[in-house]
A and B are shown apart, each in its own frame.
Chain A
Amino acid sequence: MKRLWLILLIPLLSSCWDSHNIEELSLVVGMGIDKSKKKNEIMLTEQILVPPGNSLQENQAQLKYKNVTVSAKTLHEAIRDSLLITNTVLTNHQRILLINEDVLRKIPMEAIINQSIRDNNTRRSCLVYLTKRPTREILGLADYGEIPSNVIYELKDNVKRTNKILPPLTLGNASSSLQSDGSFAIQGVEIKGKKLILEGAGVINNSKLVGVMNNEDIASLNWLNGEVKGGIIEAVHHGNPFSVEVIKRTKRKVTTELNGDHLTINVKVGYTTRLSEDWYGKENSFKKSYLKDAERVAEDKVEEDVEEIVWKLQHKYKTGVAGLYRYVENQHPKFWEKNKNKWDEIFSNADINYQVDLRIIDFGSKGGVK
Chain B
Amino acid sequence: MSQADGKILSGELAAIISCSMLGVGMLTLPRTITEKINSSDGWIVLIFNGVLISLFICLLIVMLKKHQVTNYYAYMEEAFGKWLYKMVGLIVVVYFTGVASFEVLAMGEMVRFYLLEETPVEIVILTMILATVHLLTGKIKAIAKVCVFFLPLTIVIVLLIYLLSIKVIDIKNLQPVLGKGFLPVMKGMGSGTLSFFGIELFIFMFGTVKNKNKVKSGVLIGFFIPVILYVITYVLVVATLTVPEVKSVTWPTISFVQSYEVKGIFIERLELFLLITWILQFFCTHAIYYYFAAEGLTEIFNNSYTTNLIVLVPLVFFLAKIPKNTIEIFTFSDILGYIFPFILIGLPIITFIIVQLKRSRRSG
Residue numbers of A with Cβ under 8 A of B are 16-18, 92, 117, 120, 123-125, 170, 172-173, 175-176, 179-180, 326, 329-331, 333-334, 337
Residue numbers of B with Cβ under 8 A of A are 113-120, 123, 172-173, 175-176, 179-180, 240-245, 248-249, 255, 258-261, 269, 271
Q: Is the CB of B118 within 8 A of A124?
A: no
CB distance from A343 to the nearest CB of B (A): 14
B242 contacts which of A16, A170, A180, A334 (Cβ < 8 Å)?
A180
Q: Is the CB of A329 within 8 A of B176?
A: yes
Contacts between the two chains (Cβ within 8 Å), count: 66
Residues from chain B with a CB closer than 8 A to the CB of A333 are: 176, 179-180
Query: Which residue from chain B places its CB closest to the CB of A181 in the assembled complex?
Result: B244
Given contacts A16-B119, A18-B116, A329-B176, contact A176 B242 (CB under 8 A): yes
CB distance from A140 to the nearest CB of B (A): 26
Given contacts A125-B259, A330-B176, contact A179 B119 (CB under 8 A): no
B179 contacts which of A18, A92, A123, A330 (Cβ < 8 Å)?
A330
Residues from chain B with a CB closer than 8 A to the CB of A125 are: 258-261
B259 contacts which of A92, A172, A337 (Cβ < 8 Å)?
A172
CB distance from B134 to the nearest CB of A (A): 15
Residues from chain A with a CB closer than 8 A to the CB of B113 are: 120
Known: A17-B116, A123-B258; 18 extra A-B contacts, CB below 8 A, are A18-B115, A18-B116, A18-B119, A120-B117, A123-B259, A123-B269, A125-B260, A173-B259, A176-B242, A176-B244, A179-B242, A179-B245, A180-B242, A180-B245, A330-B176, A330-B179, A331-B176, A337-B180
Residues from chain B with a CB closer than 8 A to the CB of A179 are: 242, 244-245, 248
CB distance from B130 to the nearest CB of A (A): 13
Query: Which residue from chain B places its CB closest to the CB of A121 in the assembled complex?
Result: B114
Residues from chain B with a CB closer than 8 A to the CB of A180 are: 242-245
Query: Which residue from chain A places its CB closest to the CB of B117 in the assembled complex?
Result: A18
Q: Is the CB of A124 within 8 A of B259?
A: yes
Q: Is the CB of A124 within 8 A of B179?
A: no
Residues from chain A with a CB closer than 8 A to the CB of B245 are: 172, 175-176, 179-180
Q: Is the CB of B176 within 8 A of A18?
A: no
Q: Is the CB of A176 within 8 A of B241?
A: yes
Query: Which residue from chain A places its CB closest to the CB of B242 in the assembled complex?
Result: A176
Residues from chain B with a CB closer than 8 A to the CB of A330 are: 172, 175-176, 179
A334 CA to B179 CA, complexed, in Å: 7
Task: Give 27 A-B contacts (CB < 8 Å), ordered by A residue.
Answer: A16-B116, A17-B119, A18-B116, A18-B118, A18-B119, A117-B249, A120-B117, A123-B258, A123-B269, A123-B271, A124-B255, A125-B258, A125-B261, A170-B259, A172-B240, A172-B245, A176-B244, A179-B242, A180-B243, A180-B245, A326-B172, A329-B175, A330-B176, A330-B179, A331-B176, A333-B179, A333-B180
Q: Is the CB of B116 within 8 A of A172?
A: no
A326 CA to B242 CA, complexed, in Å: 11
Residues from chain A with a CB closer than 8 A to the CB of B255 are: 124, 172
CB distance from B101 to the nearest CB of A (A): 22
CB distance from B335 to the nearest CB of A (A): 27
